[in-house]
Amino acid sequence: MQSFNRLQRLPIYQQYFFQTIDTDEQAMELVLMLAEMAAHWQEVPVGAVVLDEQRRVIGMGVNHTVYSHDPTQHAEMMALRDASTFMGNYRLPDTQLYVSLEPCMMCMGAILHARVKRVVYGASDPKTGVCHSVLQHEQYAQLNHHTSIQGGVWQEQSAALLRAFFKSRRAK
């Protein structure tokens, strides 16, 4: 059953969808606003955005696994589904995906299937990150000939949000 996408009903979604985002920093700013929504919903705060060739927002996502009872509802997956639905195509060859946390194996698989051109992420994930942390994307270069990856953009802000979330959860 397709879970209800709460994000699409929010003012932030309607405000930013199809808006042009000029810089990596502005894209990460939006990603972090989305991550804060996830935290508000008691989900691990990760946000993601997909931009098209003209740098317009065509997909947004937040981590949403708890609410949707769905282990695949990571921010990147939601943003890719959103973008693919909008484009009417599961291939997204001239897009860029921005995410606040280093993608996991599942999300990186979907990113490669979609042929996303470039991935930009904030904080490293030493437990499940497959760009540089647990695996290095150079190691699967044959799979990965479509996608370039850049980490550490707004790393501190992305990591601080996650730290604050886990600290407040431990305190409960």
> Which residues are known catalytic residues?
76
Site map 11..40 versus Zn ion, x via CB under 5 A: ------------------------------
Measured CA to CA, the distance from residue 130 to residue 123 in angstroms comes to 12
If we measure between CA atoms, which residue out of 107, 115, 118 comes closest to residue 91?
Answer: 115
Regarding 104 and contact with Zn ion (CB under 5 A), the answer is yes
Regarding 107 and contact with Zn ion (CB under 5 A), the answer is yes
Regarding 81 and contact with Zn ion (CB under 5 A), the answer is no
Within 41-80, the residues that bind Zn ion by CB under 5 A are 74
Of residues 15 and 136, the one with the C-beta less far from Zn ion: 136
Of residues 26 and 68, the one with the C-beta less far from Zn ion: 68
Residue 128: CB minimum distance to Zn ion, A: 7
Regarding 97 and contact with Zn ion (CB under 5 A), the answer is no
Of residues 32 and 44, the one with the C-beta less far from Zn ion: 44
The residue number with the shortest CB distance to Zn ion is 107
Range in contact with Zn ion (rule: CB under 5 A) among 4-12, 53-61, 104-112, 148-156: 104-112
Residue 54: CB minimum distance to Zn ion, A: 26
Measured CA to CA, the distance from residue 170 to residue 167 in angstroms comes to 5
For residue 6, count CB atoms less than 10 angstroms from its CB and return exposed for 0-12, middle for 13-18, buried for 19 or more. Answer: middle
Regarding 153 and contact with Zn ion (CB under 5 A), the answer is no
Residue 109: CB minimum distance to Zn ion, A: 9
Angle at 120 between CA 119 and CA 121, to 5 degrees: 120
For residue 23, count CB atoms less than 10 angstroms from its CB and return exposed for 0-12, middle for 13-18, buried for 19 or more. Answer: exposed
Name the site residues for Zn ion (rule: CB under 5 A).
Answer: 74, 104, 107
